[in-house]
């Protein structure tokens, strides 16, 4: 089994090919991802995200993009065969999602099982897109922070469901990221919108570029945010396919509500 990790600024990399030439994971520099999306799909980067495009970090003798995107298309394989960096992404995602979905023990337990349980290697299609950064460490230890992540599932006929999604409420601080950091929060920069878009693009690619839906449910306070991301409200109950994917992730039926 294979995974791809691209650690230098290569300009335009075929993200679609990179994702699908690997068995379970592709990690790409953020600049590579955005350059490809811009040239191929005329994707417009939110202006406040431009600051993350050209940042690098020295890890040992290697220069890496400071900010990267992980496309983990088979969580089961990532858990059992992922590299050190992949393991850090999974651990960082677990920490981020726990910080947001901390109201019920059922959610925190389910998130942990999805991201760590080797016994859950049941052939189902669990899927993660994560935006993360390499932090500054004077002792030479390579640490990362997962800043935004969408954890979900997709079906064999390529319908997608976002079960857990979050963007970090921490700051882009000098202590973590060096003197070029602006000290402002990661939220409200458009990071989450990019992660959701990339999640949807992978579903689009898997359906051979035939338009397919992705679903999620949210509380009323976040409804406006997701409408801005391009989601539309279900007029009745969620479609059966979406509910099946919801159950696949281990989320309780009581969480599915009409908006």
Q: Of 144, 145, 95, nearest to 116 (Cα)?
A: 95
pLDDT over 80 at 77, yes or no: yes
Q: Is 250 left (phi over 0), alpha (psi -120 to 50) or beta?
A: left
Confirm if 200 and 229 have CB atoms less than 8 A apart.
Answer: no
d(CA 158, CA 126): 12
Q: Is 147 left (phi over 0), alpha (psi -120 to 50) or beta?
A: alpha
At residue 1, the pLDDT reads 45
d(CA 90, CA 81): 12
SS3 state at 38: helix
At residue 253, the pLDDT reads 61
At residue 7, the pLDDT reads 46
Higher pLDDT, residue 255 or 156: 156
pLDDT over 80 at 26, yes or no: yes
pLDDT over 80 at 238, yes or no: no
- Name the least confident of 49-58, 129-138, 231-240: 231-240
- Name the least confident of 125-139, 159-173, 209-223: 209-223
Q: pTM value?
A: 0.89
pLDDT over 70 at 258, yes or no: no
Tokens of 167: 């963007």
Helix, strand, coil fractions of the chain, as percent rounded to 5: 40, 20, 40
Whole-number Cα distances in Å, 78 to 21, 47, 75:
15, 33, 5
At residue 259, the pLDDT reads 31
> Tens digit of pLDDT for each residue in 162-212?
999 999 999 999 989 988 899 999 998 999 999 999 999 999 998 888 877
Whole-number Cα distances in Å, 255 to 72, 138, 151, 218:
25, 44, 16, 9
């Amino acid at each position: 089994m294979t995974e791809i990790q691209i650690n230098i600024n290569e300009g335009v990399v075929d993200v679609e090919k990179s994702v699908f030439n690997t068995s379970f994971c592709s990690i790409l520099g953020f600049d590579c991802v955005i350059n490809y999306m811009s040239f191929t799909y005329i994707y417009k980067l939110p202006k406040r995200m431009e600051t993350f495009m050209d940042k690098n970090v020295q890890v040992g003798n290697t220069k890496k993009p400071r900010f990267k995107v992980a496309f983990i298309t088979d969580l089961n394989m990532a858990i059992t065969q992922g590299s050190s960096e992949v393991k850090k992404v999974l651990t960082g995602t677990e920490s981020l999602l726990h910080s947001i979905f901390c109201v019920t023990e059922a959610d925190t337990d389910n998130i942990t099982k999805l991201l760590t349980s080797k016994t859950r290697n049941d052939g189902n299609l669990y899927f993660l897109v994560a935006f993360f950064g390499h932090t500054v460490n004077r002792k030479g230890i390579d640490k990362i922070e997962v800043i935004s992540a969408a954890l979900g599932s997709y079906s064999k006929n390529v319908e997608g469901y976002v079960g857990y999604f979050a963007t970090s409420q921490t700051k882009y601080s000098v202590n973590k990221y060096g003197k070029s950091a602006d000290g402002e929060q990661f939220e409200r920069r458009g990071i989450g919108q990019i992660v959701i878009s990339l999640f949807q693009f992978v579903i689009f690619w898997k359906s051979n570029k035939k338009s397919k839906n992705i679903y999620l449910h949210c509380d009323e306070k976040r409804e406006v945010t997701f409408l801005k991301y391009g989601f539309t409200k279900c007029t009745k109950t969620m479609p059966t396919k979406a509910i099946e994917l919801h159950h696949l992730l281990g989320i309780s039926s009581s969480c599915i509500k009409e908006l």
